[in-house]
Structure 1
């Protein structure tokens, strides 16, 4: 295993793959490099002397400027470098690309849920959703009633059958007579307890919106919820309305029509202010939800082409290895999916700061190139207007593990999008429809972004992490991808797929990507359950379009 790595031939910094001591000499591709300070693994050191103001390049792009003199071999830190990014302009675009070899996946299928409008999902779930935060309590009341009775209460690797335990105790057995295995249900037994065999779950969403704030917040929320309802992973929904909130039922219905004029899934609306009592209201929620589940259960998994997949590309808790292992592997999978006719979706606009030019150049149309530049400029202006900016994006964890400027973080994060042309640029809540790589405007915040990806149609989401992030989504399986093997072994209950073997040299990026696509097809077919699904990590945070980095 090499101890250092140069990511791009034009870079003037080197990545330490392991801790380096001061004065240590390391070899890379026939040349020796000597450190002038200690350099922690995942961090970078200078390949030349820098004066104040000199530009720092990594991934072949500008990622910072020196704020003080830096000696050759010295570690790059927040004390001697500040964020810097290149200007962007819409010009001649370069949409030629080299397609990866996908011959091994041509003709491959997954078992998905076919909807009447032609969309195909990887899950079949029913939603119970409040139109306003006042109804969160009633959502939870319905959850308490429905989940246990219908067999969806599992939230761990094991479940205890208390009825069986009580029966054995009543028959005269003592606690000492029994082993916990005598009344423990396996995962398969838990699944077999489900009343509705073809329904993967009932998802009870909670949020703090729908009223207060500004009217646009309520309209945006309805647009997001309409996207969730339109996602092919969703069979239908029960909406809870108080009655007097900003997010009126009529606004929700109009949002659904706008998202999909052919929409025909079952949807029920229950209004508390028209109900005789809370008990009656909760009874109506349960009644309509059960009716919806009966219909949802009629849909079964059937063979579907890989081209039907929509893969959200997300990262969180990134480290200095994310941009050289996990994200490039995901990016190669993205390119494979494009070659197979599917739709990958790259989001997190604050984490594309510094690589705008390369992404703009990859847009197939000038219209989309201009839209991307405009959306980025508006987002940046709003951040600066409240006293922040994209340069504040790296978290303490990012910085600690080698991502010291936003442009450096962005250059690595953008690797998730591979190298294929960009077919469309979408704003928040807009729906993906065009095969090929799509750009979606979302915050860099992990949960707000995964929430948005599912709301725009993602049926699977890959989530790369170098530090470990327990994020999931209510309707779309989230596959957690580790950038390093240490993390994968330490957080086995969080991580689903390890790309640390790229760092150690055990795997190439294409080889690991092929294995990842195999795993994605298993998840899409319901043959594999991600850790977030197993733990029911159903995170849902709508973006109010305020500044959330």
Structure 2
């Protein structure tokens, strides 16, 4: 991409052009041998028509159908929700035309390693964590009590605290300060990273997962929750877990244990399951949980980081707070990293099925088997049908923030989001909570909701998550490092406290290959123990997906 260009046509088939900078009505843009006089203002990230369109004409971007004109649109006019609606290509497994894939140059990385935790089943963790898990929301309070007893006393409070001296507000209030004086009082204290624990130096963290499920909702959701929690225990970043059960809930401990056994016959991780209704008192129950957790930490501490090939990386590919640049810079950069990892024999996972609407045929064509193509097609159609039954549908996926920054239809959003998956063949298609067992690019059914999706990626076995954002999203995961990647330099400079890596240079002229290689170098550092911004801030978000209630 040339630095001098103020606009970009992404694919030769496209009849819309992306503004890379703010353009004004009356501006004349010379591009690809053509001249465009803008009929309206076009802000950066938004698009204008490259030809005259009449009502009903199809809109193409990224080389795929992304919408239809609802009125006449003249060449050089802004396309937005007032003149375009969502429209996507039909797809069929019968059209499954295989494509030959050529991996990118992996020579810079073929001999590189990361320092990880080797598990009995052959997987390698990028973290060594212990989990305390409730099977039902009734146990959330007990989880909190255990957390308060353990975290500070054992030195596991690893957040980089930006303290707030609220006592200053108390003092000025007592002195009769006005509301304006209260608002003008600075209460931020200096940042100090809490010292990591010394008793168990090989344990990266102890994490306490809370949720509002396990009983009272649909029984299938409780069973799915058990499978998700079993997936977290099975994740290579986890050394073992303490599980708290009330006893009478739908989410029974046996469901979790059976799922864990089905996931991995070689699983030798310590697991302590305690049932409160079998205990003599709440204090005795909590005391036993603390003691067993302490014993588990002793066992977890025996693991040490050792060299592992990059083929042991399993990288989740996620986006949230996307903008009109996400599909041009950040997501294709992840796609290049994905292709590098696949070329090295590793694994990547593309999730968020509502954000693959409109590119189904391309993904079907990339499936390495008819079975995978059929499974993907069936999950997509069933998911969308259920969403429509509930008054939604994939077409309703873009958020107000997406639309404001140029993603005006779900197909536009999806065509850019799918770029995170690069161009490699799809080796497996997984439904929610199914475990990753095959190397190469996997598709995992999750909703488009950021945290529900990252929760699912971790639950299926990812040991790193790359998360692109164009608007800024403060989120992370309890057990898997989340690397936040910005689509534009302005956002990176503005929200540098929560974002790790900037791909804005791609908009300004950098190549995807150079930026992708740079990002993979950073991934190796994080996989070896370097903390991400989300980890430093303690952004440990965990939201299980209730399948009938989320999109």
Shared fold (TM-score greater than 0.5)?
yes
State yes or no: 1:215 paired with 2:223. no
Residue 155 of structure 2 corresponds to: 151
Shift of 1:155: 1.9
Deviation digits for residues 261-305 of structure 1 (CA, Å, limit 9, x no counterpart):
221100001111111211111111110100000000000000000
Q: 1:230 to 1:53 in 2, by over 3 A?
A: same
Q: Does the 8 Å CA contact 1:152/1:194 hold for their aligned counterparts?
A: no
Shift of 1:435: 1.0
Residue 463 of structure 1 corresponds to: 467
| Cα distance in 1 for residues equivalent to 2:66 and 2:361 | 13
Q: 1:524 to 1:159 in 2, by over 3 A?
A: farther
Residue 538 of structure 1 corresponds to: 540
Structure 2, unaligned stretches of length 5 or more?
165-188
Shift of 1:34: 1.8
State yes or no: 1:32 paired with 2:35. yes
Shift of 1:186: 5.8
| Cα distance in 2 for residues equivalent to 1:92 and 1:488 | 40
Alignment: residue pair count: 523
State yes or no: 1:429 paired with 2:425. no
| Cα distance in 2 for residues equivalent to 1:42 and 1:56 | 17
Residue 180 of structure 1 corresponds to: none
Shift of 1:157: 4.9
Q: In the TM superposition, what are the counterparts of 1:442-521 in structure 2 within 5 Å?
A: 442-505=446-509, 507-521=510-524
3-state DSSP class of the match of 1:384? helix
Residue 359 of structure 1 corresponds to: 363
| Cα distance in 2 for residues equivalent to 1:262 and 1:309 | 19
Deviation digits for residues 41-92 of structure 1 (CA, Å, limit 9, x no counterpart):
1000001111111000000000000011111110001010000000001123
Q: In the TM superposition, what are the counterparts of 1:246-261 in structure 2 within 5 Å?
A: 246-261=250-265
Deviation digits for residues 398-447 of structure 1 (CA, Å, limit 9, x no counterpart):
00000000000000000000000000111000111111000001000000
State yes or no: 1:190 paired with 2:187. no
Structure 1 residue aligned with 2:323, among 319, 337, 347? 319
3-state DSSP class of the match of 1:378? helix
Q: Does the 8 Å CA contact 1:474/1:538 hold for their aligned counterparts?
A: yes
Q: In the TM superposition, what are the counterparts of 1:276-291 in structure 2 within 5 Å?
A: 276-291=280-295
Residue 369 of structure 1 corresponds to: 373
Structure 1, unaligned stretches of length 5 or more?
161-182
Q: Does the 8 Å CA contact 2:160/2:192 hold for their aligned counterparts?
A: no
| Cα distance in 1 for residues equivalent to 2:429 and 2:330 | 24
3-state DSSP class of the match of 1:150? coil
Structure 1 residue aligned with 2:102, among 88, 98, 106? 98
Q: Does the 8 Å CA contact 1:95/1:364 hold for their aligned counterparts?
A: no
Structure 2 residue aligned with 1:53, among 48, 53, 56? 56
Q: CA RMSD in A?
A: 1.4
Residue 531 of structure 2 corresponds to: 529
3-state DSSP class of the match of 2:116? strand
Shift of 1:98: 2.1
Q: Does the 8 Å CA contact 1:95/1:363 hold for their aligned counterparts?
A: no
Shift of 1:158: 6.6
Q: In the TM superposition, what are the counterparts of 1:386-405 in structure 2 within 5 Å?
A: 386-405=390-409
What TM-score results when the alignment is normalised by the length of structure 1?
0.94
3-state DSSP class of the match of 2:133? strand
Shift of 1:185: 9.6
| Cα distance in 2 for residues equivalent to 1:372 and 1:93 | 15
Residue 70 of structure 1 corresponds to: 73
3-state DSSP class of the match of 1:513? helix
Q: Does the 8 Å CA contact 2:161/2:191 hold for their aligned counterparts?
A: no
| Cα distance in 2 for residues equivalent to 1:184 and 1:320 | 36
Shift of 1:30: 3.8
Q: 4+ residue stretches of structure 1 with deviation over 3 A?
A: 157-160, 183-187
Residue 137 of structure 1 corresponds to: 141
Deviation digits for residues 504-537 of structure 1 (CA, Å, limit 9, x no counterpart):
11x21000000000000000000x2101000110
3-state DSSP class of the match of 2:240? strand
Residue 297 of structure 1 corresponds to: 301
State yes or no: 1:328 paired with 2:323. no
What TM-score results when the alignment is normalised by the length of structure 2?
0.93
| Cα distance in 1 for residues equivalent to 2:537 and 2:86 | 38
Q: Does the 8 Å CA contact 1:93/1:364 hold for their aligned counterparts?
A: no
| Cα distance in 2 for residues equivalent to 1:357 and 1:394 | 21
| Cα distance in 1 for residues equivalent to 2:107 and 2:301 | 35
| Cα distance in 2 for residues equivalent to 1:194 and 1:362 | 49
